[in-house]
Structure 1
Amino acid sequence: MLRGGFRTADPDDAHERTEALMTGHRMAVSRDGAAFGADVRWVAGEGLGLLRFSYGAAVEIRSHPLDAFATVHLPVRGGFRAEHRGMRVRADTAYGAVFSSSGPLTMRWDAGLDLLVLKIDRADLERELASLLGRTPDGPLTFDLEMPRAGGTVSGAAELVRSTCAAAGPEGPPPRVWAALKNAAATALLLGHPHSFTDALRAPAPPASSTVVRRVLDRAAADPARPPTAPELARLTGVSERTLRTVFHAEFGVGPVTYLRRRRLDAVHRELTDLDPAGATTVADVAHRHGFAHAGRFAAEYRARFGEAPSTTLSR
């Protein structure tokens, strides 16, 4: 993961550095009003980036097509006007803008604009879309340009990335946390903002055969120490995460990950019940064998399910 920033009063310098972070573009600085003074900060890792821009002066930016990624523009202060794919939008603290496909893009930033930009690789978005659909998308993924921010999941995802990076310090979040942030941002954008596949995602999920459930259970049994994630189960079974949730809720009343977690707790309970309290095997040994790596969280879940601490079960 990379983190950095720069300040400069030279528009050419700012333009060159920003092109390396985003994409090729032309920039014209207004000669009226505030003086130009760029303040740019960013944090970026595999598939995801969060950038903050302030140029002081009003500027016009004409961008090359966004072929490799989509961006969510969220003004923190001030606003801008944009034209993209024949549509126009005014972005400010009430509305953001989502740029997601090839085609001309023109933005006119107000003087004093303070802008947060969430950048997500197109390949990751399309991968997540395929997982949600349960099939390969049969056309280009394009998002509506205007994004209301009130109660929006996308703004929440951007804030989650920002606050997590801030709390992680100079080294940034570890790779697995960064991967989870990327997945959360992609999912929030796909499920929280209209796009060319929104109707397909909202269509009733087709019923899945018992083969899907069996594959999930077989995977869980094959490696109990490494619990599968929902995206992994979707890829394994060839259906979308939404379909998986629907099937498991209909069959068991909970989603697949929760159901498997309960099964692992039951397995721990059975094993602790059968163990000799005077033996060498500990509660932690059994918990790790069934994929519970966090002792405190495991103990709390165990007590909630069985009404006693795991050590109490073992000692009986």
Structure 2
Amino acid sequence: MSDRNPGMKLDLEWISKVRVNTQAVLKRAQHIQGQKIPKKQWQAAWLLKAVTCIDLTTLAGDDTPSNVHRLCLKAIQPVRYDLLKKMDMHNKGVTTAAVCVYPSRVADAFNSLKAANSSLPVASAGQTPLETRLQEVRMAVAGGAAEIDVVINRTLALTGQWEAMYDEIRQFRETCGDAHMKTILAIGELGTFTNVYKASLLAMMAGSDFIKTSTGKETVNATYPVAIVMVRAIRDYYLFTGHKVGFKPAGGIRTAQEALVWLTLIKEELGNDWLCPVLFRLGASSLLADIERQIYHHVTSQYPAYHELPMA
């Protein structure tokens, strides 16, 4: 993983000055979506790059050790071996970036990966009140989680209680210890782009290693305009502090085509340094299946039947 973001003292003056030009953001998002998408072998290469940035996720209430085990095996071998071999990519270590599960399933995932001799990190996400949440973080770290997803208190952001929000995120950061912390902004509930930018900035000041759009379970998830606002905050924070913070869109990203737009957005807004799992993740559960379909098509010139690709 990258160097940690140590955070900085809360700078309320910086936060109070933030104004986001909505029309400019929407125009920029349109421009990025209108970019030409690479074709043929270039597309296949970009899609494999996308695979290496996926946090393969299961956050179902009825997760069992066996479906977590299956998810781990899929994360280790996300694309069928024979397809990778035809592209001469079978020995390049193509895996997803991490496996993401609820705190109660961290130990299952950690043990499955360990048994398979894999060093893939386990990420843990949960949504409960602060005290319980801190306890969950302790449990997840003890179970072997290398990355922790925490959710901001939306009410604090909406009512401009930035100091309280900063203190809360700092507490999470301390509880995470050596585990990297991804802070989820639940962008659909923040109201305005200006609020999204302020919350992004504040989360980074408080020491987040990544900022993430949403849990994937809200009604509004990752959208390109919101992403532009968040990555601009990342860029400004980097220019001010010299610390690179990662970005993770999550929820509703299902097609290979969308994955390519996300990679384009990151490349254009933050540059090649961010195009790696250390600083960019795609939160997705069904995206991998579509990417593998497209890679199958690239190799064989036909689309696979549904049962021909192993499920996560």
Q: Which has the higher helix share?
A: 2
Q: Which has the higher strand share?
A: 1
Bigger Rg, structure 1 or 2: 1
For normalisation by structure 2, the TM-score amounts to 0.24
For normalisation by structure 1, the TM-score amounts to 0.23
